[in-house]
Structure 1
């Protein structure tokens, strides 16, 4: 492994150095910059994250953030990110180091000034992303212990949003659009069949997972370049699940009118099957089967 030498100390937990190809990098880790001078070697065991700069605007913003924001906020952010990565079993996008740290710094300052923001998507976040929301609640406890600031569940929702966004490589705006789209589709089904969901149901959770990926596909940049897939099973499914298919057509019309996106046969088929299973499950439970 190439020696990591200090080119600039940003704070106790981050420095600027070079990688093997002489590209400028940000090196983060607890104590990597403590009592270090230009030219000093960094202990490899302390390195937690390395960012290649290469003129990337977000990484340049990260440099400024690391220089300007008190270290305790950076440590808080890293603590939450590490816990989220371990709990979810995946690496989060590097952008969360900038977005979450900046958010936490501003949010804690707001709370100290008595300014509390309502999270308009709190219900959806809590129900659509329970693991991330749970991490958000844990983060509130950490914040209270470190900063003596007690935050509301709205803030747990905001923290969960940053985690979800970093999982999918999206941005906050796409998260809002995706979450509202999923809720709109759930409402179409709910009012079409005049039912209430059992959010603990296996079929509901599977439908929800399908809708989350479905919404991201609709909002993706290459949505108009996709091939229109035909499926020979659709006529059979259409006849077997008549009401579920009719509901899917309402969803198809809504998606086209709202996003100029045409559902192909494959998407119609899978939506119809998911809707049929969710509704059958609700009816069976209602009938006590």
Structure 2
């Protein structure tokens, strides 16, 4: 029924966006993304035409912690704006990225991108403010840190935290970096 009521341009846009995202992210997205993204795009354009703007409360987190997905969302936003001759707000890139994040992984896995982004943001803020330091987002060490935090959050929500098998390494890090260990 959704397909029957959907304008052809949204079907084609969705196919182009998903194809681009799969190449950019080097992974296959859940097939459900076609319906959720297509439906989202349709309503986003309807909201635009009615001059209704809904803010994305995790725009910054998605932009900074899911950079590849956000870049795919930016590509999608430009494609939509050019194809339809409209100007959706920049926040729409994060909304599209959110759908891509939720479509990552196996079919049976239900990811919650907003929940992940909020927790990642909370952890980064905790580190930033506890250590009273500005984090350079262009630095390779920052990127590595975000990657580790993302994997931690995924394991946390999947209830697959790593077992304490590396006691020697843990003790060594605790002795060498006591302030970092306190923050952790």
TM-score by length of 1: 0.59
Residue 9 of structure 2 corresponds to which residue in structure 1? Answer: 72
Shift of 1:228: 4.1
Larger Rg: 1
Shift of 1:122: 0.8
Contact kept in structure 1, 2:62 and 2:98, CA below 8 Å = yes
Residue 209 of structure 1 corresponds to which residue in structure 2? Answer: 147
Q: Which deviations, in whole Å up to 9, do the C-alpha atoms of 1:97-145 show, x marking residues without a partner?
A: 1110110011111101111111111111111112221221221221122
Give the 5 Å matches for 1:31-110: 64-110=1-47
Any stretches of 5+ residues in structure 1 without a counterpart?
Answer: 1-63, 249-289
Alpha-carbon distance in structure 2 between the residues aligned to 1:92 and 1:196: 35
CA spacing shift, 1:159–1:112, aligned 2, 3 Å? same
Alpha-carbon distance in structure 2 between the residues aligned to 1:102 and 1:231: 47
Contact kept in structure 1, 2:73 and 2:94, CA below 8 Å = yes
Contact kept in structure 2, 1:112 and 1:149, CA below 8 Å = no
Residue 188 of structure 1 corresponds to which residue in structure 2? Answer: 126
Which of 157, 168, 175 is equivalent to 1:239?
A: 175
TM-score by length of 2: 0.91
Shift of 1:168: 3.3
Residue 112 of structure 1 corresponds to which residue in structure 2? Answer: 49
By percentage of residues, which structure has more helix?
Answer: 2
Shift of 1:75: 0.6
What is the CA RMSD across the aligned residues, in angstroms? Answer: 1.7
Contact kept in structure 1, 2:29 and 2:103, CA below 8 Å = yes
Alpha-carbon distance in structure 2 between the residues aligned to 1:110 and 1:242: 51
What secondary structure sits across from 2:61 in the alignment?
Answer: helix
Which of 145, 148, 171 is equivalent to 2:82?
A: 145
By percentage of residues, which structure has more strand?
Answer: 1
Any stretches of 5+ residues in structure 2 without a counterpart?
Answer: none
Residue 130 of structure 1 corresponds to which residue in structure 2? Answer: 67
Alpha-carbon distance in structure 2 between the residues aligned to 1:106 and 1:230: 49
